[in-house]
Amino acid sequence: MTMTRIALCAALLAFTTPLAAEPAASVPVGMAPSIILPINTLVVVTPIEEITSKEMKVGQVRNFIVVNDVVEDGAVVIRRGAPVKATVSWRTGKGIVGKSAKFELTFDSVRAGGRDWRLRGSVRQEGRGNTTGALLGAAIITGRSAVITPGQLINVFTAEEIPFQQGRAATYGAPVVQQPASPAQPAGINPNSAIRCITC
């Protein structure tokens, strides 16, 4: 009879004891899943200074900046003002008989997240020809230089996927200042009561 009672108690305990919950997967605090800026994403750029065909040579690098933030899933992957590099891929000088100068720039990379990412796209600029002088047969009249000025908008595109860790967005904000902990009061002292200086 005693053994039967013990067995019944053990069975009741087995049913009433809650099962141990499986440990949850650990997720770093303050971190969010990374996102991907897809290939062929539009990036609008403008030169940081005037670019002219005068004394320009093929292979030279010209500097641009990103005009607007490039956003994916609510996160800024490429920030406004990010540096962009382009290379002079073709150029003709000012010609005679009113022919204008021309050049072409091929875009290479944009700086984001501490490294350079490939871009694709090019722009061709042509100076205004002096057609009036050419029609009059004034062979000594030359065309005009080709120029791209700051504020002139040019569309280029990403040539590769750009990953971005959303948790890094917090680093762009103001730093969090840790407040010092209040010192513990010794036992028996009321912090609201007046304290008399014993050395005064």
Q: How far apart are CA 126 and CA 161, in angstroms?
A: 33
Examine the pLDDT at 97 and tell me if it is beyond 50. yes
Contact 67, 32 (CB under 8 A): no
Residue 197 pLDDT greater than 70, yes or no: no
Q: What is the mean pLDDT of the chain?
A: 75
Which amino acid is present at 116?
A: D
Structural domain boundaries in the chain? 41-160
Residue 197: other Cβ atoms inside 10 A: 5
Tokens for 172? 């762009």
Phi-psi label, residue 137: left if phi above 0, alpha if psi -120 to 50, beta otherwise: left
More confident residue, 177 or 87: 87
Q: What is the pTM of this model?
A: 0.63
DSSP 168: G
Who contacts 39 (Cβ-Cβ below 8 Å, separation ≥6)? 157, 158, 159, 160, 161
pLDDT at 133: 37
pLDDT at 138: 39
- Per-residue pLDDT for 58 more than 50? yes
- Over 70: is that where the pLDDT of 109 sits? yes
Higher pLDDT, 77 or 177: 77
Res 108 pLDDT > 90: yes
The correct answer on CATH 2.40.128 for the domain covering 41-160 is yes
- 21 or 100, greater pLDDT: 100
Q: pLDDT, tens digit, for every residue of 163-193? A: 998 765 433 333 334 444 544 444 444 544 4
Among candidate residues 183, 171, 148, 200, the one with its CA nearest the CA of residue 30: 171
